[in-house]
Amino acid sequence: MAEVDFSIGHKEYRLTSQPGEERLLKRAAALLDAEARLILEQAGRMPEPRLLLLAGLMLADKYSALEDRADKAEKQLSRLQSNPTKVEVPVVPADLKEAMAELAARAEAVAEQIEERLGD
């Protein structure tokens, strides 16, 4: 077992964690600490249990909002995968294709004439 030191709302804590989970525990504690510090900035000093409760509730609210966004994104992705949006590509009219081919042929002819003159 590994011991992890961290602080939440200016109070130091030490917990034991399973090997390899130290980083996760520190990350979770940092999130809780950030919320606790916001509360302390706004409300000032308060009893530790109340501070931890409010910080936990704020995190739960954020988590809930993220869950809702993830659910909406999954539903939208599922809808798009089951019924992909059709993309229409404009069709180039045949007369425009012919005109562009003629312009290309003329450009090649001009290039050949220039090459012949430069070669002389």
* Least trusted range by pLDDT, from 21-25, 64-68, 114-118: 114-118
Domains: count for the chain: 2
> Within a domain: residue 87?
no
Q: Are residues 14 and 40 located together in one domain of the fold?
A: yes
Residues 77 and 108 in one domain: no
Which tokens belong to 97? 């294709």
pTM of the complete model? 0.60
Same domain, 7 and 42: yes
114 in the same domain as 73: no
Residue 101's domain comprises 92-120
Single-letter amino acid code for the residue at 51: L
Residues 59 and 39 in one domain: yes
Mean pLDDT (whole number) for 83-100 = 80
Whole-angstrom Cα distance, residue 35 to residue 41? 10
The Cα–Cα gap between 48 and 53 comes to 8
Write the DSSP symbol of residue 83.
Answer: S
Closest CA to 10 of 2, 25, 23, 41: 41
Please check whether residue 24 lies inside any domain of the structure: yes
Same domain as 97, residue 38: no
Residues 6+ apart with CB under 8 A from 111: none
Number of residues written out for the chain: 120
Same domain assignment for residues 16 and 46? yes
What are the pLDDT digits (tens) for 92-116? Answer: 788 888 888 899 999 998 888 888 8
| Same domain assignment for residues 43 and 102 | no
pLDDT over threshold 80, residue 70: yes
* For residue 88, pLDDT beyond 90: no
